[in-house]
Amino acid sequence: MTISTTMTIGHELDVAEVISETADSKSFVLRPPTGLRDRFDYLPGQFLTVRVPSERTGHVARSYSLSSAPGIDDELKITVKRTADGYASNWLCDNVLPGDTMTVLPPAGTFTHTAQDADVLLFAAGSGVTPVMSILKTALLQSDRSVVLVYANRDRGSIIFRSELDDLAARFADRLTVHHWLDDEHGFPSVERVAAVAGDNGVREVFVCGPQPFMDMVRAGTSTAGIPAERFHQEVFVSLTGDPFAARPAVDDSASGDAVPAVVHLDGVAHEFDWPAGQTLVDVLLGRGVDVPFSCMSGECGSCACTVVSGKVVMNDTGILDPADLAEGYILGCQSRPDSGPVEIEF
């Protein structure tokens, strides 16, 4: 059997509503088809990768965080803020209307809250509030945890979800504290100011999302305050250079002579198969109908990160993995091919 490229990627979601949040940001409420709703289960803080039409390249792919909260909001919602030179953000805000459809990948991302009994300290800047809002609502509405949010913006007109935050602060006055940090009133936030807030909330799990300089500053401030690294979580977005929506090669059974026996543990299920030497782990799993996490297909997002339990793989590109990740056995499924086996992988 020869390899074909008929395995299509992406799902069409209906745009149920478009909400103007600020002068330069909009939320898009998305409704999956009835038969795909389970495929779009997600964790607070995760994102969707969206296919955006382009006359020059056919389409581009961008990732946008879900500002909705699972189990709380009936539909999915992503929030998009225009950037000065951002083709995708401007196209979405200018063109998408209720009744349209968006082509998206299933939810992905590791910026999510797993310590369900821990109070949280949230830092956000600009549109970085999007995944933070999902984490905030989940903590307040599905637990009795306490939440502190520090939200930085240029001015009051730039505050995304301002009315919703005001309502939540009034409703949960004993458990939610919101600090709006506005550049035109308070100047820019500093390491010292972050350290002061973190020092008053040192037993919380810390989450931060925003421009890289803001996240670097928050990391330095929380470190100064003595927050352990394992309680610090930050979101990292990159401008995708690959095409995660491109048709993927089907499983090539004719290459079984060069295949390595493999078992992959994912969501409590062990998948056993012969892994062809010329195909990546994500491609093989997708070709076999396995619901494997992925987003960029180019080693840039980390959604497909997993660990090698036994055997050996090789990677085209180590992408966002740092030396400590590699030393602990982490690999990127979209970049990994088998070297010697049997191979055992755990997601």
* Residue 160 pLDDT: 98
* Residue 6 pLDDT: 47
- State the burial class of residue 63 (Cβ atoms within 10 Å of its Cβ: 0-12, 13-18, 19+): buried
User: pLDDT digit of tens for each residue in the chain (347 aa)?
Assistant: 333 444 557 899 999 999 999 999 999 999 999 988 998 999 999 999 999 998 887 888 999 999 999 999 999 999 999 998 889 999 999 999 999 999 999 998 889 876 678 899 999 999 999 999 999 999 999 999 999 999 999 999 999 999 999 999 999 999 999 999 999 998 889 999 999 999 998 789 999 999 999 999 999 999 999 999 989 999 976 666 677 887 666 665 555 558 999 999 998 999 999 999 889 999 999 888 888 888 888 887 888 999 999 999 999 888 788 888 888 889 999 999 999 879 999 99
Tokens of 274: 């012969």
* Half-sphere CA count of 276, side-chain side, radius 13 A: 20
Go through 179-216 and write b for each residue having 16 or more CB atoms within 10 A of its CB, e for each that does not. eebbeeeeeebebebbbebbeebeebbbbbbbeeebbe
The pTM assigned to this predicted structure is 0.82
* Geometric angle at alpha carbon 119, from 116 and 121, rounded to 5°: 120
Is beta strand 58-65 parallel, antiparallel or unpaired with respect to 260-266?
unpaired
* Residue 192 pLDDT: 95
Of the candidates 27, 21, 64, which has an alpha carbon nearest to the alpha carbon of residue 42? 64
160 in Cβ contact with 154 (< 8 Å): no
Cis peptide before 342 (omega within 30 of 0): yes
276 in Cβ contact with 251 (< 8 Å): yes
What is the Cα–Cα distance from 182 to 151, expressed in whole angstroms?
Answer: 8
What is the Cα–Cα distance from 19 to 178, expressed in whole angstroms?
Answer: 23
What are the strands, taking DSSP E only, across the chain? 11-22, 25-31, 47-54, 58-65, 76-81, 101-104, 120-125, 147-153, 176-182, 205-209, 232-234, 260-266, 269-275, 305-315, 330-332, 336-346
- Return the sign of the alpha-carbon dihedral for residues 166, 163, 190, 121: positive
What is the Cα–Cα distance from 168 to 132, expressed in whole angstroms?
Answer: 14
Helices 191-200 and 212-224 pack at an angle, to 10 degrees, of 50
* Geometric angle at alpha carbon 66, from 284 and 266, rounded to 5°: 30
What is the Cα–Cα distance from 136 to 152, expressed in whole angstroms?
Answer: 16
* Residue 3 pLDDT: 38
Q: What is the DSSP letter of 245?
A: T
Tokens of 122: 């949230």
* Residue 1 pLDDT: 30
* Residue 85 pLDDT: 85
What is the Cα–Cα distance from 266 to 264, expressed in whole angstroms?
Answer: 6
